[in-house]
Amino acid sequence: MALLGQRSDVGEFRRRYRWIVLTAVVMFLILVGRLAQLQLVQGDLHRAQARKNIVRERSLATTRGVIRDTQGRVLAANRPSYNVHMTPAEVDLSETWPTVVKLLALEEPEKGELERKIKEIQALPSKGLTPQEEKRRGQQILLKVDVDRDAVAYLETHARELRGIEVSPQPVRYYPYGELGAHSVGYMREVGAEDLVRLEERGYRAGDRLGAVGVERRWESYLRGVRGFKKIVRGVSRRDDVQEVEARYLEEPRRVEPIPGRDISLTLDIDLIASIERAFHGQLAGAVVVVDVRTGRILAAASKPSFDANVVSGGSGVKAVAETFRRLNADPLKPSLDKTISAAYPPGSTYKPFSALAALADRLLDPTTEVDCHGGYEYGKRFFRCTGVHRKVHLHEAIVQSCNTYFYELGARVSIDKLASVGLDYGFGVKTGIGINPEARGRMPTRSWYTRRYKEAFRGGFTLLSAIGQGATTVTVLQLALAYAALANGGTLYQPQVVRSIETSDGTVVQDFPPRVRRLIEPDQEHLGWVKAALEGVVTEKNGTAYKERSRDVDMAGKTGTAQVSHVTPRGVDPGKVWYFNRDHAWFSGYAPSRSPEIAIVVLVEHGGGGGKNAVPIAMRVVRDWQKMKEKRLSAKDDAAGDKPN
């Protein structure tokens, strides 16, 4: 076939063919090896990524649980807030815009600012834009949040004429009672960028809201609910075989329904809180706590001044939130502080029953012990003043008339550590563990505390001050209320509770909170009897400190207090108002009814002056309202019971 000569020419290549074939095959095998790695070894990984590429998880919003009071009235719920947006590129400045301005009552300078934006964006050419400009053209601007129903109705019926104007509902938290009990119920705030790092793993996203204070914060995980999701295939709406595609690419579960948050029933009674609000009329600042002495449940807690939980939760827009907080934080009356638990005050004379119990327990005095009050007490080189000249007083009169001299004598006999230990027994100086807001501990000063605090020798005068609830002794309003509840019920210190039960959205109780005893104090019942008789006398006896302000139809026992305040004016106070901040705190602590107590009440009027004059009337009004409410509810129950046989 071929010539030999030609063959020999090809001979040069001969030895190389084998190597070339080998190289080629090896290189193809490398490709095969890599393919095996991608498709067989890592196949599942890549398939997962490929699915992730085409599948989107659209989240389904959940609804936050409702908070109710003890009578089932809604304290916190959800409502849609209708926000109006506009797309500036589509708005007709001459036709649409004036209508919108009128409807939403937009005012200068906001109106001018918006008009400028519209003109600016409409001036952009329709082609050849940078991506940023393109984005700006398509962007929506928020015109107004939470417009009223009439405006929404108008906007929706005229949607076609009002091009570029859009209404979108957004759920917001709604507090029907506004300021009432705002500190306890709490409010919401938006998840901030820095929280998000921490909260993301718990399923929060940017723009979510969570409970900021109060029950909303403490029970956030119950109230919140669980978001659901729906898987969709990207861009599938363009296809005509949606069902088929989804069945093929979406893994089960394709849809998970959201779980609504748990509802929470509180122990609070909003009627009682409203009653406090009315009774407080005319006073600027303070706090009231009413607890059930038989359970430790908090029936009412109010801190004055308050704030509107709707506004701070964002119901009126982001601007209003910032504005309100600026105002709240600048206010020297500290409206955002929960004065029932987050602040500690000197209890003044309302502490005297506990001093008396301490001295009685150590047998340092008995009801026959007599002290002659000349308007004060000499101790060492100092003279400790009394509120008046009470002459010869025993324990009973000393409490009824709030004689300091008697308690100075008591303080001279008793050790400060005994006072503190009885205080601790009644729950002072320790956090109650209510948990809804940051809690102040208060202070029961001891000898070692003074030694540590003042680097000098301990002086007996400190004990004298502690005995009348002054000096370094501080308590919170809640601690005092629970301690008086313990006096009233014969020595049981309860765990304070605000949550009665947790329910699913259909009303099934998931968790119930029975009363929890914190400590059985086991005081000598005879001692307790003497003290309680005196507390009754404060209201019923002619020279009792609460007698003048008593009301005939209110059966209550208790103790007034007028606590001196340290003369340190808070910052930012108008010098013309300094006199107010130097005024004493007015206290009343008590329980009702006096012989078979059901509730304990503590009223604190910050810088209110004398306790008898300022705090007692408030307590009287609240307890009277409580009695009326109780009667009404009892008769309603009887009616209901009476109706049944028919």
Interface with another protein (CB under 8 A): 1-3, 6-7, 9-10, 12-14, 16-17, 20-21, 24-25, 27-28, 30-32, 34-36, 38-40, 42-47, 49-51, 53-54, 234-235, 238-239, 249
- 484: closest CA among 342, 268, 293? 293
Smallest separation (angstroms) from another protein to the CB of 10: 5
Tokens 């001050």 found at:
465
- Whether the ω angle into residue 438 lies within 30 degrees of 0, i.e. cis, is no
Smallest separation (angstroms) from another protein to the CB of 139: 22
Residue 40 carries which side chain, given as an amino acid letter?
L
- 471: closest CA among 458, 482, 484? 458
Smallest separation (angstroms) from another protein to the CB of 108: 44
Smallest separation (angstroms) from another protein to the CB of 219: 41
| Beta carbon nearer to another protein, 54 or 124 | 54
Smallest separation (angstroms) from another protein to the CB of 57: 16
Smallest separation (angstroms) from another protein to the CB of 243: 15
194 phi-psi bin (left φ>0, alpha ψ -120 to 50, beta other)? alpha
| Beta carbon nearer to another protein, 36 or 159 | 36
| Beta carbon nearer to another protein, 249 or 513 | 249
| Beta carbon nearer to another protein, 238 or 455 | 238
**Which segments within 109-164 are labelled E, that is strand?**
141-144
Q: What is the three-class DSSP state of 393?
A: strand
- 350: closest CA among 590, 598, 17, 568? 590
- Those residues with Cβ within 8 angstroms of residue 306's Cβ, 6 or more apart along the chain or in another chain: 179, 180, 182, 183, 335
Give CA–CA dist 166/90, Å, rounded.
Answer: 11
- Those residues with Cβ within 8 angstroms of residue 280's Cβ, 6 or more apart along the chain or in another chain: 286, 288, 302, 304, 605, 618
| Beta carbon nearer to another protein, 22 or 60 | 22
| Beta carbon nearer to another protein, 54 or 141 | 54
| Beta carbon nearer to another protein, 46 or 158 | 46
Smallest separation (angstroms) from another protein to the CB of 252: 18
Smallest separation (angstroms) from another protein to the CB of 43: 4
> What is the DSSP track for 68-120?
E-TTS-EEEEEEEEEEEEE-GGG--TTTHHHHHHHHHT--TTHHHHHHHHHHH
Task: Give the sign of the dihedral formed by CA 537, CA 543, CA 547, CA 549.
Answer: negative
End-to-end Cα distance, the chain: 125
| Beta carbon nearer to another protein, 9 or 574 | 9
| Beta carbon nearer to another protein, 2 or 640 | 2
- 246: closest CA among 259, 257, 234, 229? 234
Smallest separation (angstroms) from another protein to the CB of 17: 5
